[in-house]
Amino acid sequence: MEDVKNFIAARVAKELQDGDIVNLGIGLPTLIPHHLDPSVHITLQSENGFVGLKPVEKGQENPHIVNSGGIMAGIAPDGAFFDSGTSFAIIRGGHVDATVLGALQVDENGNIANWIIPGKMVPGMGGAMDLVVGAKKVIVAMEHTNKGKPKILKSCTLPLTAKGQVDLIITEMGVMEVTADGIALKEYNPEYTIEQIQAATEATLIIDEDIKPMI
């Protein structure tokens, strides 16, 4: 597959509903706005203090407007800036409809580890801990494996960001829903067989009765 990240971002975009307030994590999730249907209008919230986040247009770069990853961003005409306290009140108050973020590991209990690998330098957890607990829906968008090693596990081995908060996992191989019984494979990428997807996944996948190709 030529562009795995954009493939994943395009599928995630289909999960976002018109009128949603959405927080996008750094990296792959920032590609999602480029794949939204023009009829779908979402409000992007950036935890460093504004709503109305949008991709920056060439020639309109402003070093004073950056997303939570410190990357220059744009702001919609109806956007608004505010302090960090207000930003996290929005998140912790349950006003964010969905958050999309990457992960180092996710497990069959909906646990997520996405902020540190012990022994490696990191700037900090950022807003992830608050977002995965405060958002109404948590979508993990990531590549299925890391150098061939499964990232979807029976149990996370890295320090957790939060327990039991992941609702949906979208990778280049499929769309998976975290249920009370485990991880259900709802859609699969026809470039892979079900057996190949399971082989790349440590957790035992529940194959949905109505499984269909990724759309």
Q: What is the pLDDT along the chain (215 residues), one digit of tens a residue?
A: 669 999 999 999 999 999 999 999 988 999 999 999 999 999 999 999 999 999 888 898 999 999 888 889 999 999 999 999 999 999 999 999 999 999 999 999 999 999 988 888 676 677 899 999 999 999 999 999 999 999 999 999 999 999 999 999 999 999 999 999 999 999 999 999 999 999 999 999 999 999 999 98
**For residue 138, what pLDDT is reported?**
98
**For residue 215, what pLDDT is reported?**
81
| φ/ψ (deg, to 5) at 139 | -115, 125
- What is the distance between the terminal CA atoms of the chain, rounded to a whole angstrom? 15
**For residue 55, what pLDDT is reported?**
87
**For residue 15, what pLDDT is reported?**
97
**For residue 103, what pLDDT is reported?**
96
Cβ-based neighbours of 147, under 8 Å, separated by 6 or more: none
**For residue 13, what pLDDT is reported?**
97
Residue 45 near residue 8 (C-beta atoms within 8 A): no
Catalytic residue among 47, 108, 172, 187: 47
Token pair 């020639």 is at which residue? 59
**For residue 2, what pLDDT is reported?**
61
The reply to whether 143 belongs to the active site is no
